[in-house]
């Protein structure tokens, strides 16, 4: 069984870092990930640089990235202006987030949930016209830092309303890391019957409370075959209080490989790259495999 890992270190991993990495270091990070087998990568976001300074070099980064057959660069856009920037910058794919609660949606992108759904339809249609595959991310799908519990039925209704403009990929995001394996199974059980087979199901789990890997396993059992993760476990949402990072790419890959599943990634190469990244970010790199090493021979 083949499992896809979408590495988000260059975007979600760096967006919340106090230390801003130069564009050339970001390029090297992405090149190292590609050299170790990554084929789909979130590279940057086209957002207001005053709100997210780490993403101020979005166009410069995209211009500096080498193009390789079979490698897809994904840009995050939170509005139509961001989409046009992503198209002009040469992104291969675009991701857009519909937030599951009004308060988080207002803080994250200045819309209500209803307005966010409307923007999704515009983004999806415009992206396809420009030749970009659109990814729909439903953020705070497992809980909101401002409104608390988010009902499974509510998330399922949001997904249903968005599917009239089909995404290439539908990803459920635990933006603040409060979900449990039971929540993951319940939510995917609720949405899968209404999702066409042409839509790839994915996840975006944060590891804020150390449940991310367990949740990835639950999603795997539910039928998901595409997972976002971040090299070294770096990252976090600037609008989520106490955000402490994504699930770690190399830790997730170790688990999957030990289960006999193929990711196409070089685990030891990823660990080397995580240690390289630690030389730039220090204690933000929290992944464990790069520190513990492989299964003893």
Active site residues: 237
- Buried (b) or exposed (e) across 266-291, using 16+ Cβ within 10 A? bbeebbebbebbbebbeebbbbebbe
Tokens of 224: 């998901």
Residue with tokens 């705070």: 140
Tokens of 22: 């130069």
Closest by CA position to 16, among listed 38, 47, 40: 47
Instruction: Quote the CA–CA distance of 126 and 251 in Å, as a whole number.
Output: 36
Judged on CB neighbours under 10 Å (0-12, 13-18, 19+), 245 is buried
Report, in angstroms and rounded to the nearest whole number, the Rg of the chain calculated over CA atoms: 17
What is the four-CA torsion angle of 30, 33, 35, 40, rounded to 10 degrees?
-90
Instruction: Quote the CA–CA distance of 7 and 265 in Å, as a whole number.
Output: 11
Tokens of 165: 């403009």
Instruction: Quote the CA–CA distance of 197 and 201 in Å, as a whole number.
Output: 9
Helix (H) or strand (E) holding 101: none
What one-character-per-residue DSSP string does 210-236 give? S-HHHHHHHHHHHT--EEEEBGGG---
CA 74 to the chain's CA centroid: 10
């Amino acid at each position: 069984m083949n499992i896809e890992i979408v590495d988000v270190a260059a975007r979600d991993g760096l967006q919340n870092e106090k230390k801003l990495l130069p564009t050339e270091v970001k390029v090297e990070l992405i090149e190292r990930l590609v050299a170790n087998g990554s084929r789909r990568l979130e590279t940057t976001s086209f957002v207001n640089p005053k709100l997210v300074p780490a993403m101020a070099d979005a166009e410069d980064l995209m211009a500096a990235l080498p193009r390789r057959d079979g490698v897809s660069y994904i840009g995050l856009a939170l509005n139509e202006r961001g989409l046009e920037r992503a198209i002009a910058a040469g992104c291969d794919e675009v991701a857009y987030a519909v937030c599951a609660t009004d308060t988080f949606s207002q803080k994250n992108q200045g819309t209500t949930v209803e307005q966010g759904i409307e923007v999704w339809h515009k983004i999806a249609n415009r992206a396809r016209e420009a030749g970009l595959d659109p990814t729909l991310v439903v953020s705070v799908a497992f809980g909101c830092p401002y409104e608390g519990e988010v009902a499974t039925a509510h998330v399922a209704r949001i997904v249903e309303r968005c599917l009239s403009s089909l995404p290439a990929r539908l990803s459920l995001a635990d933006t603040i890391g409060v979900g449990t394996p039971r929540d993951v199974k319940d939510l995917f059980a609720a949405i899968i019957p209404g999702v066409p087979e042409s839509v790839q199901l994915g996840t975006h789990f944060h590891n804020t409370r150390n449940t991310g890997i367990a949740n990835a396993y639950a999603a795997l059992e539910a039928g998901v075959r595409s997972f976002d993760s971040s090299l070294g476990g770096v990252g976090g949402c600037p609008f989520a209080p106490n955000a402490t990072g994504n699930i770690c790419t190399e830790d997730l890959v170790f688990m999957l490989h030990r289960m006999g599943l193929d990711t196409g990634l070089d685990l030891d190469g990823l660990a080397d790259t995580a240690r390289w990244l630690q030389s730039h970010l220090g204690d933000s790199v929290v992944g464990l495999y790069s520190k513990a090493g492989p299964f003893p021979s």
